[in-house]
Structure 1
Amino acid sequence: MANWVRFESEGAVRIGVLGGDNIAIHDGDIFANAAPTGETLALGDVTLLTPCVPGKFIALWNNSKSAAEKQGLDEPEYPLFFLKPSTTYLAPGGVIRKPDDYDGRVIYEAELGIVIGKTVSNVDAAAAADAIFGFTCVNDVTAMQLLGTDPTFPQWARAKGFDTFGAFGPAIVTDTDVSECAIRAELNGRERQNYLVSDLFMPPVDIVAHLSRSMTLEPGDLIACGTGPGALPMRPGATIDIIIDGIGTLSNTYED
């Protein structure tokens, strides 16, 4: 198991493996033969960035059994997904901002993130499993009241695509079994979401295999697996923590 991070130190962007409060610095590419330099830095002396820069950020909807039951939705036959633009990407500690021209609710959504490590297209489950580099925490932020503003076309891309609406990190954790992990959201320290990865209709391997039949997946691509019950609005000044067993805690604040 390794906790890969990407960070800024003295004006340079670098990568490394986080262990406790120290980072073992590596050269190269996280996804292609990164090599240790022998140097270390204290976590408190760097600024964490998103752990990768995805070429694609794919996010699923209606992939939670308990959320579907609560909303009266049927199990989908295939992943229902949308794409979030790169301008949504937000690092740990960053501020989620409400859009200037939107006065409605902005909600958090705690999700497991899959990070792809190999280029794959139209693969089976075994190859899909091999393509998964690791996992991270995701907050798939949504301007909820925009979804239904046009009755002829649900506004998924707009509602999910504002700047800062795609927080993820703090690390990509490799070689770990997430099948029984709990995914939690704490709003101002109060638990609001708590569901298991096993609550997902489609587990990570199946998601990757299915999506590879729709598009080529490439190293660094991020897939958010969909959220469970309990996603609620945030108020200005709120702190939202996404916590996944064995993966870490993604902490951000929300402001107008």
Structure 2
Amino acid sequence: MKYIRYRKEGTIYYGVLESETITRLDGNYIEGPVQKISATDSLDEVEVLAPTEPGQLIAIGLNYALHAEEQGKPLPEEPMMFMLSPTAVIGHNAGITLPTEDHRIDYEAELAVVIGKEAKDVTREEALSYVFGYTCGNDVSDRYLQKKDGQYTRAKSYATFKPLGPVIETDLDPSQTPIKLSLNGEVKQNSNTSDLIHSVEEILVQVSKVMTLKPGDVLMTGTPSGVGPLSPGDELEIEIEGIGKLRNYVNN
């Protein structure tokens, strides 16, 4: 099922997307059981928002084997986790603002995991039961600041640096899912989550050892090979099979 959060005529709604039609729900799907109501909206008449408002946004670095090879780095023995600011989150069709054109700022297509219930010290066997669903993410990153700081929070937490969306898909196999990013119509990243070094289950096990995850929190699972720089005016499309296409542009 595809869950969607959107704005129409100044009001935020939650719904289920089927083809181009949204059926409204009577509440926030993240917060608990919801039911469909009779009202419907057309997808092309609404503003699609980020499908969750995470209290915590946790990323995993260097988690695709070919990306590690591309970077000339050894495979990490454990998931390399770091925190990002939730205030960086934007939605589908929203603009990315580059704070400066003097730094190299890259796109990174990622599978994002949305937590469905409180998770602490979970086991591998039960890990996926804590997942509400999956969405597309773009981990926009300032490479100059990454190198300068020696850690990633500042470089990846600027406003608009974390596009998410357009929907949360609940029926997805995170271990075998094609993921692709196109820049101005040209495919730059084209991979599959089968290349993940640490699986979604392993990420959940390791992150939940450190912190308690809450409903709506997001785990960014890493990016495939093919990352590259952004420039004003660029148009991006991230496609994850089963979820859909997340489109954003870089503000001039």
TM-score under structure 2 length normalisation: 0.96
* Deviation of 1:46 (Å): 1.0
* Distance in structure 2 (CA, Å) of the matches to 1:218 and 1:155: 24
- Percent identical among aligned pairs is 37
For residues 35-54 of structure 1, the aligned pairs below 5 Å read: 35-54=35-54
2:187 corresponds to 1:198: no
1:39-81 per-position Cα deviation (integer Å, ceiling 9, x unaligned): 1111111111000101111111011111112223222222112
* Distance in structure 1 (CA, Å) of the matches to 2:110 and 2:62: 12
* Distance in structure 2 (CA, Å) of the matches to 1:72 and 1:237: 31
Q: Secondary structure at the match of 1:113?
A: strand
* Distance in structure 1 (CA, Å) of the matches to 2:205 and 2:21: 35
Uncovered stretches (5+) of structure 1, i.e. residues with no partner:
none
Equivalent position of 1:61 in the other structure: 61
Equivalent position of 1:96 in the other structure: 96
RMSD: 1.2
For residues 137-152 of structure 1, the aligned pairs below 5 Å read: 137-149=136-148
Equivalent position of 1:230 in the other structure: 226
Equivalent position of 2:25 in the other structure: 26
* Distance in structure 1 (CA, Å) of the matches to 2:84 and 2:170: 24
* Distance in structure 2 (CA, Å) of the matches to 1:148 and 1:113: 24
Equivalent position of 1:251 in the other structure: 247
Equivalent position of 1:167 in the other structure: 163
Contact 2:89 2:159 survives alignment (8 Å):
yes
- Count of residues in Structure 1 that have an aligned counterpart in Structure 2: 251
Equivalent position of 2:130 in the other structure: 131
* Distance in structure 1 (CA, Å) of the matches to 2:131 and 2:75: 24
Letter of the 2:129 counterpart = D
2:210 corresponds to 1:211: no
Letter of the 1:22 counterpart = T
1:106-137 per-position Cα deviation (integer Å, ceiling 9, x unaligned): 11000000111010100101221100111100
* Distance in structure 2 (CA, Å) of the matches to 1:76 and 1:123: 21
* Distance in structure 2 (CA, Å) of the matches to 1:174 and 1:197: 16
* Distance in structure 2 (CA, Å) of the matches to 1:175 and 1:248: 13
TM-score under structure 1 length normalisation: 0.95
* Deviation of 1:205 (Å): 1.4
